[in-house]
Amino acid sequence: MSHAHMQATVGDITVSGAMARFMLAGRPGAVFLTIENKGEADRLIAASSPLTDRVELHTHLMEDGVMKMRQIEGIDVAASGTTELKSGGLHIMMFNVDPMPEKDSVVPLTLTFEKAGTLDIQAMVIDKAGMSH
């Protein structure tokens, strides 16, 4: 199975290309993915995982010239739009994942969308360089 093309759909929402990056043992990991919406405007309002009880939706913003991460209540997906969670931008943050997942293993997550409902996905664990091979 080609992990580069993993995707999952619920209602009008399709999530693809989910990747998880854990930099250091004991540090939170970040999850990146693409959300495509074929319907009305929707919103990702929660993420969870059996690996930890603390998963947050995050964004990056510049504060006093320093890039900081901030927890946010939701991630909007425009009607017939695409929202990308990527390095340096919107992402899902997983805390307290112990042991740190191995490269090329899979991290299970459940995403909850306001309208489309819940969607189970699998994020492929990539290495620090952002490459999965």
Residue showing tokens 């290495």: 127
CB 94 within 8 A of CB 31: yes
- φ/ψ (deg, to 5) at 4: -70, -15
Q: What count of residues does the chain have?
A: 133
Closer Cβ to Cu ion, 46 or 69, answer by number: 69
- Measure CA of the first residue to CA of the last residue in the chain; give whole Å: 14
Residue 21 binding Cu ion, by CB under 5 A = no
Q: Of residues 46, 51, 93, 106, which one binds Cu ion by CB under 5 A?
A: 93
Closer Cβ to Cu ion, 21 or 58, answer by number: 58
127, 113, 129: which is closest to 35 by C-alpha? 113
Q: Minimum distance from CB of 88 to Cu ion (Å)?
A: 11
- Contact track, Cu ion, 52-91, x by CB under 5 A: ------x----------x----------------------
- Binding residues for Cu ion, rule: CB under 5 A, are 58, 69, 93
